[in-house]
A = this chain, B = another copy of it.
Amino acid sequence: MVCGIVGLGLMGGSFGLACKGYFDKIIGIDHNIQHQEDALKLGLVDEIGTFEDLKQADVIVLAIPIRGIINALNHLSKLNLKKDSLIIDFGSTKESIVNECPKNIRKNLVASHPMAGTEYSGPQAAIADLYYNKVMVVCNIEDSGEEQVKRAFDIYNYLKMQIKIMDAKEHDRHAAFISHMPHIVSFSIANSVLKQEDKDHIVTLAAGGFRDMSRLAKSNPHMWKDIFKENKKNLLDSIEAFKSELKKAKDMIENEKWEELEEWMKTGNQLHKIM
């Protein structure tokens, strides 16, 4: 079986590494020449190709930003793809992708979002176990072809992923809470410390807790801007929910309602019982 991976960064590159044993040949496509060279050198793909080469692919993975995915789907809809080919996209939001996918290839598409990643990006960041034991959300499978869903699930099982089926709308709302808002919060922590006169002194005290809370602020601004843009409404809702809890805490501290604050924290402790 031939696989084409569009986008050879952290997500696409790691997919290539992990799926070496699954495919007979993996073709990599990336407009960035440095990425092409790195991906070949690091053995993430077997060869570098172009969109034309995707006509021979059984599986096409789109591991690029959301707008890029939608452009690629439009492009693919005009190519003579193999009839039963499977197209997987790894977009971080799903509603616009399932809505804007051209009708003639909608059955080919299995819209997926791997809940995996690191704060690093590019082919150099690719790791073979990125997907291992992680959740793969698959959206609106009722609009995908049966063969394609079967093939996609087979690949996700091969990667030892846990498959969760979800509505695209619901996914986007959840992703705002679980990922997009926490990114904004982490960047806000980083920027608030950087604004302090004694920032260098402050960070000498950084221990594990602060490192965790500021890790997401290492993320790629260009990529995240696009994700925030796609999920604006849900993101704002989740920031609002967060802000309202923060305000509660601040008011309790200001008014020295220490017992109430303790109760509020005890409630927070419950999260890890459902996680």
User: Interface of A with B (CB < 8 Å)?
Assistant: 115-118, 134-135, 137, 164, 166, 170-171, 173-175, 177-179, 181-196, 198-219, 221-222, 224-225, 228-229, 232, 235-236, 238-239, 241-246, 248-250, 253-254, 256, 258-259, 261-272, 274-275
Q: In the bound complex, how far is the Cα of B178 from the Cα of A201, in angstroms?
A: 11
- Known interface pairs A212-B213, A241-B192; A236-B262 also in contact (CB < 8 Å): no
Residue of B nearest to A226 (CB): B258
User: In the complex, A137 Cα to B203 Cα: how many Å?
Assistant: 12
Give the copy number.
2
User: Are A258 and B178 in contact, CB atoms less than 8 angstroms apart?
Assistant: no
Residues from chain B with a CB closer than 8 A to the CB of A186 are 213, 268
Chain B hits for A194, CB < 8 A? 267-268, 270-271
Contact B225 A262 (CB under 8 A): yes
A273 to B213, CA, bound (A): 16
**Contact between chains at A117 and B209 (CB < 8 Å):** yes
Q: Cα distance A187–B192 when bound, in Å?
A: 18
B210 touches A182 (CB 8 A): yes
Flag if B261 contacts A228 (CB, 8 Å). yes
